Every structure is written in C-alpha cells, then in structure tokens.
Structure 1
C-alpha cells in the first residue's frame, strides 16, 4: 500500500510517496490491516458505512457527492479481497467516481468469469469485446490492476485476454523485435540438431510451444491443457489435432461456431509423438504436459510451493522458457540482448502470419477460437510493423549469406525463393569475365534472356557491382525503387485489410464467397512478392544508407 515519507533538504521540504509492492494474501494480518484503513476513512467521513462487513459501502467526497460500492460476490474470500482492493484505491485518494468505476468493473469481470474460473476465459474475451471502446479499456485495465493487488490462479491467462483491449497506447499489443523472433527461430532449429538428449528432453515443451503455437493461435492455457492423445493420424498424409476448447454453437446471428479440431502437418504430428516417447514412463494422467515430467528434468529445486495440478502450471513453463534463454540461447549461442519472448507472443505471430497468407477472417476466427469476427481488429494494426520487420531482417540474412530458415510460413517462402536465397552471393571479389554487363552490375544467368524479369534490381541472377565513380548514382537507383516498393507494400496491406473485412461471410452455414477468397489470396500473394523484392533490393544497399541502417 502507499507509504508517505517526508524528507528535508537544505532548500526545501519534499514529500515523497513510495509504493511498497506487496501482494494481498488474505491472511488474518492482511485483512486486519485493511480493516484499520477502513476505520481511518470512516473517521474521516469518506466512508459512511458503519461496518467493514457490510456488502454496500457509501463514499462521500468533500462536495457531499455520494457513490455506492457493492460487494455481493458469493465467494466470501474473493468478496473480502475486492473490499481490500477498494480500500487500497481509496487510500490513494482517487475521486469517488474513479473508485466506483474500478470496483464495479472488477466486480463485473468476477461475475462473468464465475470467480476467475479458467473455463470462462473465452467468455470474458467475448464479453469485453462486445462493449464500446471506453468500457473495454476499463474492464481490461482495472482487472489487470486487481491481479497486481492479489494472487489469483491463472492470472497470466486472464491478463493475456485483457491486454489487447487496453487504451490507444497499449491496446495493440507490443510485438517483440522481429529480429529477435528470427534469432529465436533459427537457434531453436540449431538446438534440435545440436542439443544433448537430456537438454532435448528437458526443453521439449518449449520446442513444442514454439513449433505449434506459431502456426495455430493457441492461448498459453490451451497449449498447457492439451490432452495426451490430442493428435491422430487419419492417413499417411492427413493428421489432426484436438484443442482444449469448448466446441461452441453460435448463440447470436453475428457469432461463429467455434471448432476444436484442426488439420496439422506431419512434422507437428511427429514432434508430439517424439514427446510421447520421452514422457511415456512418467505419464500419470491424460494431459500432454505434466508437472511430474517437468520435475523429472529439473536440475535444482527451490523453496517453491505448488498446488497439485493435473497439468503443468504456466509459471513452470515460464520458468522453463527462462532457463532456455539462460542455458541455451545465452551460453551456447551468445545471445546478449535484453529482449525475451513471452508465452503469449506466439498467438499474435500466428494471427499475423495467417492474415499475411491470405486466410479470410472467418477461417482465422475458427482456428483462433474467436466467436466474433471483430475480435481480429487489433491484430490488423500489427501487419505493417510485421511486414517492415520481416523485410529488414530477411534482407540482413540475405546480406550475411545465411541459408534460408525453412520453418518460416510457407506463404513467405516458395521453393523457388528458397533456391534463390540459398544460391545468392554478394560478389565483392567475384570475377565477371563471363557475365553480361547490365546497369551497375552484371547478369550471371547462363540462360539469358529466357529468365529475364525485366528489372535487374530484384533478380536472383543480378550482381550489384557498380564502378566507384557511379556508386552514389547506383545507390540512388536502388533506394528509389526500394521506396517505391515501400509505398506499394503499404497500399497492398491496406487492400488486404479491406478485402478481408468485406468478404461475403455466411455465419450460419460457416461459408464465404469463393470469389472473394480468390481475390484475397491473390492480394496476399502479391504482397509477399513485393516483400521479397524489397528484401532482395535492401540486401544490396550498404547499412550506412539512411533509412536502412540497423538502429
């Protein structure tokens, strides 16, 4: 709670407010402390209710305005906790309007979620999404504040749901730097090739989290509660996964039936089967990820207390991800950055990847577990950042002669593009005796002009090799086209967004216009073509060129 401290300096009297961050634990000591705070504000005539036990409190401000706080939650422990939370806000001397707004918002969320029952996570997302902008922000913001006040089971999952609805500065979730995303993906694949058997077993839940949730937009709690028999092989080429979602029928005309069964590729199926082999002897329940498995591969034990759970709790998977950073990325692959991915980030990657691949909003909603199309609105705001970051980092990989990572989304990389990048070289010292001179460089295509695309700047056969006296002119030639492509990419993203939002959807039959989908797919393919062209051009530009320098 806030603690006021006064300090005297030579020049002036300063009053500092420090906040001692402590979690309310519902202990007798904690409750008694807040009862004393209640008595304090009762004596000051701010609270007119005579007893802490009353389920209706009346607040009075200096202008004699009155506001009521209602505490009628059936769970007495949660009801008392909300009262103490209210007192912590009163103690900070907010207006009675604000205090009432905070308490009523949290009370509302508690009712919708039946006391923060994890089974009602989707119900909360649906409920917040149905309100106007201001109401959404209040419900999300004040609920997150409540979780900072006290410890609630599955609080991280509820915060993940609330975060996208925050105000204009925060509501579009801040995505990690895309360069780090690529670094993580690249080193994950190195780890699978180089890690010891013990390391592979220990961190395999992190491997599966990365491989699965970057493709299917799963919430962390959905990933952790996957059943052991969640995947099935139907044929040699057809595999399915069943997700821990309630298969819901739409209740309103604008709602969507939620599905719990999706098709997966063979690689994902085999990864889960591999984990079965690692965990078969320790599996004691029907969940894929268990605490027993985590404990078996734990290298040290602290003083943590853990409730008995049938599946691996989120904080243990968070801990395992931290250990993966410390023991693998930092020690083995020399990661020196401060940025770290969180378990909830990959759901956002998956949504953005699907949008850029040309999935329509209905398909995205059903795969992502959304019962309403409008829940995707805040993800569209990420596409420009996602595209710009991808171009920059792909250009840098291009520049460093790295081989293309085949685990990136298929829409980004065709086999032809993989062949292009893997065969591409920067030719600072290469001899061009047998090459065809072209604008500011050479064409090394032995089959010219059959493969000529008409513009050398983004051609796989083009080698940028200007003469010293023409260097500035050559760089301008590249940057002008790069900037033109930037404008076209922005236009294409806007077009992709518009088409996706105007597709003719029939929510009753869960169908959509084939013609509209074809237009959407064409637009997505064109966007990806432009992204590749810009990446190839930018890879030829010196880092020092303004606008392309790595900040």
Structure 2
C-alpha cells in the first residue's frame, strides 16, 4: 500500500473510545463485519484475510481497500505482541464502524509509520519524527498521521507507546494547524447535563415507588447514573464500563469493592493494573439497588441489564440487538442521546449536539480529577487501566471542567440549600442569600470592604470576603463591585496558574525516567494540589455569598 499524495480526509483523535482485549475485541470485530455484510457495505474479505473491500454507503460501487500484508514484516521488531496484526485489524474495524470515511486513510498513515520505524523499533523513533516534521506534506497530513498512530497506541496500550507517544504529542503541539476534531464540551454544558441527570433520577425514583407505571423510566435513567458517577471517579472507557459483570460489587467487612473487566498482566515489569477497586458506600448501595430492581428481568452477563432497557417502552425497540445478555457501548450512547431529549422536553434545557457529552468524555474528566487531587502518575495509570505511565501523557488538559465542578460542588455544600432555578444551557443559579447574610448577624465590625461578623475576628484569608465570617450589605456590594470583581479574577488566575503547574510537573514525571525517582517533585505536586483545593474553596465561599452565577455584572461566572 503506497502512501497517499492527496489531502487526507479524517479528523481522528489521539484518544480511542475502545480498548483492545484479544478475545472480546476479535469477537466484536467479527460481529461488526457480519452487520456490515448484511448492510451491503462489506464487499470482500473475512477478518482472517489480509485484504478487505468496504464501501461507505449501501450498494455503492466505489469501495475502499484495506491491505494488511505489510504487517507480516512485524518480524522486524520481535518485541511486538504475537497478535499485533489482529490488534490492527480490530482497531480498523472499529474505525470503519465509527468514522466510515477516515478508516482507510488512518490505516495508510499508520502503515507508513510502521514501515519507517521497522515495526516501531525504539531506535527508529527519530526517523519517524524527522519524516513528519520535515516532509513536504501538509500540516493536516502530519497531524493526522500523529493522531492515527497515537489513537492506535491508546487503543492497544502496548509497551512501545511509552517511547513514542510523548514525542509525537510534543511534535504535534509545534505544528500550526486548526483541527476539526471535537473538543470536550465547555464546563457549563457538562454541569447542566450532570444537574438534570441527578434531578431526573431523583424524581423518577421517587415516583416509581408510588406508581408502578413509572418503573419503566427508572430502567432507562439508572444505567446513566451509575455510568456518570462511577466513570467521573475511575477513568473507564465506555467498553470497559459496559463489560462490567453482574456480580461486580462486594462488601468485605464494611469495605466496598467493584471488580472491573481488566486483563491480568504476565509481564511483571509493567504497571500492574488492579481489577478490584475500593468504592464508597454510596456507590455500592447505588449499584446494589439497581441489581435488585432489575433481577426481575432475568439473566444478564453484564451489570447493566439490557432486557430492562427494552422494558422501558416500545419507543426503545431501537436498543435491541441479537445478544440480550450484554449491554454495549452503542446502547450507552443511545441512552445519553435519549436523555438530552428528556432535558429538552421535560426541563426546557436544549443543548446543541456539538456541546453534548459523549461516552468517553468522563474518562478525560476522571484523569484530570486524579491529577489535580495530587495522585501520582503511577496510581493514575493503575486506576486508568494503563500499563505504562507515559500512556497518560496526552490526558493532561481539560482542567476547566474539574475546577468548575469543584467550585459548584463546594457552593452547594456551603449553602446547604436546594437548587431552584436553571438557565438554559448554563450552570444553575442557587438560592440567593439576599443581603448576603448581612442582616442575620448581631455583630458587625466595619472592614475596608463589608463587615466582619466574628467577635474574635479569626481571619481565614488576607482578603476579608474569602473568609466565612465576612458579610456585606447590598448597597456596599454595589459600591465595591469592581474591586471585588478584580479580586475574583485574580483568584481565578491563581487557580489557573496552580493547575498549569500541576500539569507541567506531571508531564515531567511522566516523560522523564529520572524525574520519577525525585521525591521532591511528588511532594511539590501534593503541595500545589493542597493550595489549589484551598483557593477553589475560597472562591466557592465568596460565590455562594454573592449569589452563584450572577456575581459579575449579571453574567454567568466563569471559574477558570
């Protein structure tokens, strides 16, 4: 297969939504091929063959060719897995199913990288980097080549990714190109989704215990709640979540665990990935309740009962597939899309498709959350199912959502009140503390801005309004609004600097072997993480006093 001379037509990300597991992945790839055959899209070749012909549209005479013969030269690098070709084939089948147009180009770019590096040998990495950087191809071509190779590495998590991914990602950052690859939704849209998901779940659960007819909706919303709460804490791919077994939870002397579908490693030199993780009691009870409610529908191989979803109503017949004992990524995706329609029809909150959450987004959120909380890269890799530390190199962004989420979570905790209003597509405003708690205190000591309500004047911050003892009248707030606004922006800038510092230190630890032996760097991460938590709490404290989303001239507050 020769390298293409024309402009490539893909926008594949460096992140893969899927994860390779030899038996499951091969079986799933064959099922996808069977389906494409029925749809008259798969023209020629079985999974075991090295030449395929596939078309994008039913009965279309124009086809795309997929040639895997070059992979026979995998002997150039004996360190590659014995089933390397099967890995590539499973990866490509998933791309054919997801992207349609881009799969052929992805394979061509990947095979060019494979050929240049003699099977991704470590000592040939510079050859690949020089080819990408100095070739006459367009910047889009170069970026797509990096994305295709990194996407494969993310899908397979093979050992050579340790040597290639950081260098490729660094090179990509130097290439001037405006990509069309989808970005994660802005935090306000993600928080809107989270807010209404929790609200709708509580509503239908309460109604279900009083009205049998409401049970159907419970079975459609419950899987989303489990997925959302679990995968925002533990970095899990959609396929991994869907494959969680029915008997996944256990109570061992008051400690609660969940078992994930992860492969045990024979190579003890690599990071050992635990398949049994500690969870809190709330998550345990949530999953336990779901199992009890869905046992009535009979056997299921997976935690999520597929039959219970079908029971949700005739309109959900589209969820049906051949194997009723398994819950699939496609089903999860459809449940998420269905809930956005619920948000629109029941709560008048419409979010455009480009800003809607996708199944793999929570994996990014969870990686950032662990990093910002000061977890070491080794622990993050173990929780995220990565066999190498460097595999997490390109998960270091997307801090905006985590910061916003933490501020909002702390605001709710501080105010200890229910959310009562919601602006379409924005973070919900919380109950306003009318005169900012000014009239509810008998003691008031005048300060430069506002008043101190503590007789002993136990200061918690250099700036009074980041202290829990501070209060202000409506009139004085209006007079000092610009100064408060300026100080809030300074606080936000400080938070941004801390998150950037933590990201940079983690990148250094991930990419540099010597840094991983420097205990001082780990202590610095923990120190910066503690400082970040303190700054976020102070910002949440002030914003809860000043009315949540209307602090800055009636505009929605942007924390990061």
Per the shorter chain, which TM-score range? 0.5 to 0.7
Say if 1:172 and 1:379, in contact at 8 Å, map to a contact too.
no
Query: Which of 487, 496, 499 is 1:490 aligned to?
Result: 496
Q: Which among 341, 357, 364 is matched to residue 348 of structure 1? A: 364
Contact 2:418 / 2:430 at 8 angstroms: preserved in 1?
A: yes
Q: Deviations over 1:78-112 (max 9, x none)?
A: 72226999xx99999xxxxxx9999979x999825
In the superposition, relative to structure 1, how do residues 289 and 449 fare at CA in structure 2: closer, same or farther (>3 Å)?
same
In structure 1, stretches of 5+ residues that fail to align are 1-22, 33-52, 54-71, 93-98, 147-156, 406-420
Q: Which has the larger radius of gyration?
A: 1
Match of 1:216 among 219, 222, 234: 234
2:444 to 432, 435, 460: 435
Superposed CA RMSD = 5.2
Q: Is the 8 A contact 1:128 1:136 kept in 2?
A: no
Q: Does 1:465 align with 2:473?
A: yes
Q: Tell me the residue number matched to 1:335.
A: 349
Task: Please state if 1:376 is matched with 2:392.
Answer: yes
Q: Matches of residues 248-263 of structure 1 in structure 2 within 5 Å?
A: 248-250=265-267, 255-263=270-278
Q: Does the alignment pair 1:80 with 2:98? A: no
Q: 1:521 Cα deviation (Å)?
A: 2.3
Mapped to 2, the partners of 1:529 and 1:514 lie a distance apart of 23
Secondary structure in 2 aligned to 1:489? Answer: helix
Contact 2:236 2:363 in 1 (8 A): yes
Q: 1:216 to 1:172 in 2, by over 3 A?
A: farther
> Structure 1 residues 102 and 234, CA, compared in 2 at 3 Å: closer, same or farther?
same
Cα distance change, pair 493–249 in 1 and its aligned pair in 2 (3 A): farther
Q: What is the aligned residue count?
A: 438
CA distance in 1, matches of 2:190, 2:319: 31
CA contact (8 A) 2:41 2:54 kept: no
Q: Which has the higher helix share?
A: 2
Task: Report the equivalent of 2:379.
Answer: 363
- CA distance in structure 2 between the aligned counterparts of 1:90 and 1:376, rounded to whole angstroms: 39
Deviation at 1:428, TM superposition (A): 6.3
2:285 is matched with 270
Equivalent residue for 1:444, pick from 432, 453, 466: 453
Determine if the alignment matches structure 1 residue 521 to structure 2 residue 493: no
Q: Is the 8 A contact 1:256 1:372 kept in 2?
A: yes
Q: Secondary structure at the match of 1:232?
A: strand
TM-score between the two structures when normalised by the length of structure 1? 0.64
Residue 274 of structure 1: how far off its partner (Å): 0.8
Whether 1:247 and 2:252 are equivalent positions in the alignment is no
Matched, 1:299 2:299: no
Candidates 81, 85, 105, aligned match of 1:111: 85
Instruction: Tell me how far 1:442 sits from its aligned partner.
Output: 1.8
Displacement of 1:450 after TM fit?
A: 3.2
Q: Which one scores higher on RCO, CA 8 angstroms, separation ≥ 6? A: 2
Determine helix, strand or coil for the equivalent of 1:300.
helix
Distance in 2 (alpha carbons) for counterparts of 1:184 and 1:259: 30
Per the TM alignment, residue 333 of structure 1 is displaced from its structure 2 partner at its CA by 2.7
Question: Does the residue aligned with 1:245 lie in a helix, a strand or coil?
Answer: coil
In structure 2, the residue matched to 1:425 is 433
Deviations 1:200-221 (A, max 9, x none): 2332111111111111111111
1:500 Cα deviation after fit: 3.5
The 5 Å alignment of 1:16-95 reads: 25-26=36-37, 75-76=48-49, 79-81=51-53
- Cα displacement string for residues 246-295 of structure 1 (whole angstroms, at most 9, x for unaligned residues): 022447x5x42222111111111111111111121323243222432322
TM-score (norm 2): 0.63
